[in-house]
Amino acid sequence: MSLFTEKQETLVKESWETMKQNTPSAYVSSPPKILEIAPAAKNMFSFLKDSNELPQNNPRLKAHAVKVFKMTCESAVQLREKGEVVVAENTLKNLGSVHLSKGVIDAHFEVVKEALLTTIEEAVGEKWSEEMAGAWGEAFDQLAAAIKAEMKEERRQLSFTWPIALDSLTINWVWSANCNR
């Protein structure tokens, strides 16, 4: 990983401040962009799955978008200060578990990144640059890498517990079948 520079951190933080000033319009456009790029993603969001509500009117989707932007901005700061993205263990475990349970794969992170970058570009207007795109992209990629690593760990742990759970179901079934005679 290359060193995240002070300039990159500044680009992310300044554009984040611009976006916060444009609230809620900046956040409203991101979630629908995800659905424009990948319409099937609607089923991955529990609060959109069975809803006919327009995504841009869904407060839970807006809140999700704000979290993604905020965590990506925080990742930029951490990359500059620590050289890595550090997410609180319980938050990271939750993110890994939720993303794994929803069937999120690497390509989905790329869709979110594309929507994120497009939304930022629209929000900051003339301030947008390839350098800003690179800074936000790197911060998002490192955050996504931390989530993917946790998903991998969760998957590994599930592969160990699944046979045990299956064996205990078999044992319980055999025990109850024999004891109820």
E strand or H helix that includes residue 96: helix 89-101
Cβ atoms of 19 and 69 within 8 Å: the answer is yes
Using only C-alpha atoms, what is the Rg of the chain? 20
The percentage of the chain sitting over the pLDDT mark of 70, rounded to a whole number, equals 80
**pLDDT on residue 155:** 86
Tell me which residue has tokens 């290359």.
2
Provide the token pair at 150.
Answer: 């946790």
Chain mean pLDDT for the chain = 82
How far is Cα 20 from Cα 23, in angstroms, rounded to an integer? 5
User: What pTM was computed for the model?
Assistant: 0.80
**pLDDT on residue 175:** 39
What mean pLDDT is predicted for residues 136-159?
Answer: 92
**Domains, the chain, with CATH or none:** 6-154 (1.10.490.10)
What mean pLDDT is predicted for residues 92-121?
Answer: 91
Say whether pLDDT at 87 is over 80.
Answer: yes
Pairwise pLDDT comparison (3 vs 170), residue with the higher score: 3
Angle, in degrees to the nearest 10, between helices 6-21 and 106-124: 70
Say whether pLDDT at 79 is over 50.
Answer: yes
Say whether pLDDT at 178 is over 80.
Answer: no
How far is Cα 94 from Cα 113, in angstroms, rounded to an integer? 20
Exposure b/e, 10-37, CB count within 10 A at least 16 = b: ebbeebbeebeebeeebbbbbbbbbbee
pLDDT digits (tens, 9 = 90+) for 2-24: 589 999 999 999 999 988 887 55
